[in-house]
Structure 1
């Protein structure tokens, strides 16, 4: 079954405009390539591909403090009709291979989740590799999650109804933050939402070959990423805080895992779901037919993105007890 025509056409045009895939650049050129991609995705008319912010969500900016005193930008989405209500909170980590992306990424998704699930979504701008390699991004995400829980009153949120969410590298980070919170005694995490996550950087799963030349993410991107994310890729790739599939998975929060049919990382999500279930963790796994990696950033190209959003809204409402 081929990639849908609309998605294939977009990818053909995009490759002509973006000739420097970020994750395939040498370390000294990654930041410039990532910045160029970010500008491209914010050009006039880009909303036709990336979607618009939900008008029923209020968007503000804050900053969290990392354990080493650095301010980490936060983009906060809250339902406009929430008033002074104390709401559940979802801490979100963007994708981008640990080397690109920012807190504004997938704004249509974060704002719609806030407005329609009646929760507060806090998107974290963690420091990126190669300038800040492993475990830097994971530690920043954990620190931001702790900070949000400790400052719950300032956000109008209930720290006992806290979830973590992320897509791609952000899905990896959400899984890792769940592990860190368990291992370090908090904060309490009620749910983990992992969207086409990478969960084993030392693995070679069948979908990486089957979808090796798929749109958005290729097997070459996957092969070159460890050289950018790690000091010592051979040793660090198997660290459980880099590859959570290699961790002991007992006593973790329930998980929603979404994968995409035409994604090299598709089998990562399925493998993590199987491992979590074996450890007694409740899991809902959904594989979206005709979808490609990165679909939560491409609602105008991948129709399944809106179906995936609806599923996420329903799961957040059920697990966190959101009302509205």
Structure 2
């Protein structure tokens, strides 16, 4: 048992150390990310579960020699580190407060709130009884492959609801729509939204911009089937994380671009807002270049830099972009937080629409996969941001309708006034003619 206790202590200490100081060696980056991600977002669970395991090992004789004592010491140190990670996760309140202040929206939202029970039992995130899910709905067939989407909607029927298209991540060559974006989609469905979690062709078989074209096909499909799913075709937003964040950002920045709509150039692929979670926003960054050259774009940056520029959201910013919300973790080991900051600054410099930024202190990549003390308030903030965009849209529609009614009323009044004037003139002429006529 002393060896077991020592092993638990070594693993716990290594996991916590990696969460604070991520691995930098190339071959350790991906496994280091997974270890850090789970350690950070499940810090409280690991602390409670680890304490129970260490107590059991100690009572079973694990402290019979120096190995057990060393293991216990490492577990105590790791436990202190887990407490620090948990407190840091809760420390995002300051960033959220600043976000609400800057966006001019209320921090206290409407009911229903995100279920806090899902923080204690994270797998409940994927089993929501209050949300209807239809899986595997085909939306297009391209290159011999049928692409599908999953629909998340309120159980009660409705019409002209706001819609959101979710794009999964996975470095453009893997990923599963069934396990990404679920906290946001289910929370929005409880607030009356309809969500569409979409497939797209993956590399290395697919070459960019095939991925982007497929997402735009999905948006066009949602508009075509708006009545069937109770969606307002004039209010669709897009979101995604990591590679999906890259694609979501490009969707927001390239509406109607015929280069990315072959065969459906006339389709409306515009969106009312884009929410980008820890996206890849500058493809010129050396961090991604090897993967992009070999697997995604399949050209060398030195030979075709223009292709990397056209595929980089930071190089596609323009004044007509829709409202953006960019969310990134300060400790993201896979996608550079510096790129997110530069993208926001570049977009704010030209866009006429709001550009919001929410940087979560200590957060790793993919922190929103399941409910946690960090994920839940972020998801609620996104819902309130999008609800504000929807309210503005409804207000503008109401104002436009009122203006049309006034214009129509004025036009009718003018027409009626003209008709009355003609009638009066005719009557006067008839009366005058009658007076001059000879008596019979």
TM over 0.5: yes
Q: Is 2:296 aligned against 1:229?
A: yes
Match of 2:231 in 1: 157
Distance verdict in 2 for CA 1:248–1:259, change over 3 Å: closer
1 CA distance for matches of 2:278 and 2:191?
21
| Partner in structure 2 of residue 65 of structure 1 | 140
Q: 2:173 aligns with which of 96, 99, 102?
A: 99
Q: Which residue of structure 1 aligns with residue 340 of structure 2?
A: 269
User: Alpha-carbon deviation of 1:289?
Assistant: 1.2
Verify: 1:78 aligned to 2:148, yes or no.
Answer: no
**Alpha-carbon distance in structure 1 between the residues aligned to 2:180 and 2:275:** 15
Shift of 1:183: 3.0
SS, match of residue 292 in structure 1: coil
Superposed CA RMSD in Å reads 3.1
The 3 A distance-change label for structure 1 pair 202 and 50 is farther
Q: Structure 1 residue 246: deviation in Å?
A: 1.1
Structure number with the higher strand fraction is 1
Is residue 198 from structure 1 mapped to residue 280 from structure 2 by the alignment?
yes
**1:317 equivalent in structure 2:** 387
Report what 1:34 is aligned to.
Answer: none
Alignment of 1:130-141 (within 5 A): 130-141=204-215
**Aligned position for 1:43:** none
Larger C-alpha radius of gyration, 1 or 2? 2
- Asked if residue 296 in structure 1 is aligned to residue 368 in structure 2, the reply is yes
Check whether the contact 2:159–2:227 (CA below 8 A) recurs between aligned residues.
no
- Once the two structures are TM-superposed, the CA of residue 315 in structure 1 deviates from its matched residue by 1.0
Q: Which runs of 5+ in 2 are unaligned?
A: 1-11, 20-26, 32-119, 259-265, 395-440
SS in 2 for 1:76: strand
For the residue of structure 1 that corresponds to 2:187, the secondary structure is helix
TM (normalized to structure 2)? 0.56
Contact 1:169 1:197 in 2 (8 A): yes
Query: What is residue 242 of structure 1 aligned with on the other side?
Result: 311
In 2: Cα distance, 1:233 partner to 1:106 partner = 31
Deviations 1:140-181 (A, max 9, x none): 111111111122112210011110111111010011112331
Which protein, 1 or 2, shows the higher relative CO under an 8 Å CA cutoff with sep ≥ 6?
1
Q: Which runs of 4+ in 1 moved over 6 A?
A: 20-24
Task: Return the offset for 1:106.
Answer: 2.2
How far apart in 2 are the matches of 1:163 and 1:129? 25
Closer, same or farther in 2 for the Cα pair 1:237/1:138, shift >3 Å?
farther
Task: Give how far 1:232 is off.
Answer: 0.6
Q: Is this contact kept in 2: 1:160–1:188, CA < 8 A?
A: no
The separation in 2 between residues aligned to 1:312 and 1:10, in whole angstroms, is 31
Contact kept in structure 2, 1:65 and 1:143, CA below 8 Å: yes
Mean Cα deviation higher: 238-247 or 85-94: 238-247
Partner Cα distance (2:327, 2:336) in 1 = 11
151, 157, 163: which is aligned to 1:89?
Answer: 163
Find the counterpart in structure 1 of residue 39 from structure 2.
none
Q: Distance in 2 between matches of 1:128 and 1:140?
A: 10
Which has the larger helix fraction?
2
- 1:104 counterpart SS class: helix
Cα deviation, 1:274-312, whole Å, max 9, x if unaligned, reads 111111231110001121111111434xx3111211111
